Amino acid sequence: MRIRFDGKTVVVSGAGHGFGRRIAETFAQLGARVFGCDLSAAELAETAKAGVDTEVLDLTDRAAAAAWIVEIERATGRAVDVLVNNAGGVAGQEMRPIEEVPDADWDHLFAVNVNAAFTLSRAVAAGMSEPAAAGSSTSARAQVSPRRSPASRPIARQNTRWSA
């Protein structure tokens, strides 16, 4: 079986490094026109070497995120075929016990991991729902920690005291 994406428009958030970069590069290798965003211009420069159109973009700015999708659709003259919501993860946060996580950090995690994915999905939805379109949207999340810390233990067992 040979899968190709020739003539398809693919959008990948968090395309500057890691899984996002590899996803963007793979779609480009399979013939898609790929658009990727991230916060780091230097990391996006590496992604662009694979033929990916890149944009430095803060996805917590909902208006800018939606405008990016509009610009992609304008540039390609078609709806987005595939959206990969990959941005986010731990969003620069440190591993720490839940009781030490400030509200501002929690809100930022949601702004990137949930709100940005919603904003991009909503922006591509109209085009993907047209009868001629057969679009697809997915969200990818993975966290890799080089070492275990007390904060990485299951929350339910962090403060458990056993008595005889």
**3 state SS of 21:** helix
State the pTM of this model: 0.79
Q: Any idea how long the chain is?
A: 164
pLDDT in the model for residue 31: 98
Q: Distance (Å, rounded) from C-alpha 93 to C-alpha 108?
A: 9
pLDDT tens-digit profile of 29-80? 999 999 999 999 999 999 999 999 999 999 999 999 999 999 999 999 999 9
Instruction: Give the tokens for residue 94.
Output: 């440190």
Q: Distance (Å, rounded) from C-alpha 77 to C-alpha 97?
A: 48
pLDDT tens-digit profile of 92-146? 778 889 899 999 999 998 999 999 999 999 999 988 876 655 555 454 544 333 3
DSSP 93: P
pLDDT tens-digit profile of 18-40? 999 999 999 999 999 999 999 99
Per domain, the residue ranges of the chain are 9-141
Q: Which CATH superfamily is domain 9-141 in?
A: NAD(P)-binding Rossmann-like Domain (3.40.50.720)
Contact indicator for 9, 33 with CB cutoff of 8 Å: yes
pLDDT in the model for residue 133: 52
DSSP 153: S
